[in-house]
Structure formats: structure tokens, C-alpha cells
Amino acid sequence: MTIWICQPIPLVFILSIFPTEYQTPPHTHKQTGREMVKPWFTLILSSMLLIAMSLVHGIDQDPLAVEEWFKNLPTMTQKQTHLHFYLHDLVSGTSPTAMRVAQSTITSTSPTAFGFLAMADDKLTTGPEPNSTVVGRAQGIYGSACLEESGLLMTMNLVFTGGDYNGSTLSLLGRNAVFHPYREMPIVGGSGVFRMARGVATAKTHDFNLTSGDAVVEYNVMVVHY
């Protein structure tokens, strides 16, 4: 498996790939410095963005590359990866990361708020502190799916944004009994570096504010992948 690392691209190299006429715009009138710079600067900027986009993920996602990856699958060695991070679920304040989007006719009277649904884009960090290094986002839906206790149905994509896992994802689907000390949920798939992933995510509440509803949850994720 090839891991691509995005490196700064020298300006001299970028200029070298453009024809001379783009590097030096034709003079139809006396041009100001700004007018002379604008055409080729736009091309350079566009090229840098295109090159960066192709390198941003940890693995080539071009359809032909994906097909070749699957052809090589029988000869690949299975890997095991342990991930540890903290999820910050903020439902209060001026910048919440999870918001209720629907509820049932009995949600307001149910002791477990049965039937409510929330859409989340929660921050994943290396530590429990709000200013810890961000390593990704937990994006998806969770909702109350139990009438007898606080049990959430979790359908989340763990989207990683840094290091070797940049651009890769893990898909989580399971039951989260939020007041249990530990909650085990299946990892049912992945993308990028985590193609064909399967495993287990174990959640443990680090902090829960009964007044605001905000929570910080510690996650340990074990996955096997290729």
C-alpha cells in the first residue's frame, strides 16, 4: 500500500509546466504590475490546488487505482490498527456540533426521549481538553432507540484529517447505552487506508454535563484492514 505525503511544490517546477506564453502574457497595451501577474498567477494557483487535491488522501482513490488495489488484495497482508481519541459532542452554546433534527410524537413525554434524532459533526481530538489537537470529525446521525433506558442508535462516519490517515474514514453502526461504563459498537467498513476495515469501537464517557447536555467521550478503536 502506498502512502502519499503532501510536500510543498517549488514555484520553479510549477512555472516550468506552463508554456512561455502563459508565463509572460502578451502586451496589447501598457500593463500594470497587477495586470501582468494575474493571468499566470491564476493558472499557478489552480494547478497547485489540483495537485494538492490528488495528494490529500492517504491512498490513491482514482477508480483505476481502486480496481488495481482489489486485484492485489489476495496477496496483501492484513493489518491491525489501534486508534485512541476523544469525541466532543456539543449540544449547547452558540456553536453546537450536534443538533436535533427530528422527534416522535412521544419524545417530549418519554423518559428516554424515544424517537429523537440528532445530526452531528463532532470534533475528534487527541485529548479530552477542548483545545487538544484535532485529528478528525464524527459525522452522522444518532437517535434514541430504546424505551426502557438511554440507548442510542449510532450511525457515524469517523473522518480522519491528519497524519497517515488523512482523508480516510471508518464507519460505525451500533448501540450506545450512554450510561453504561463501556459501550462496544461495531466498525462495519472504511475507506482510504481503512478499506475493507472491520472491528470494534469501545466508548467510555469522560465527562457529561447534566445541565447543558454536552459530553466528552473517550474512544478506543481496534480495526483490521489491508
**Would you give per-residue pLDDT tens digits along the chain (226 residues)?**
333 333 344 444 444 444 444 444 445 455 555 555 555 555 555 555 544 444 445 578 899 999 999 999 999 999 999 999 999 999 999 999 999 999 999 999 999 999 999 999 999 999 999 999 999 999 999 999 999 999 999 999 999 998 889 999 999 999 999 999 999 999 999 999 999 999 999 999 999 999 999 999 999 999 999 9
**Predicted structure pTM score:** 0.75
The Cα 139–Cα 54 span in angstroms is 23
Long-range CB pairs of 200-205, under 8 A, 24+ apart, other chains included? 201/170, 201/172, 201/174, 203/87, 203/176, 205/178
State residue 59's pLDDT score: 79
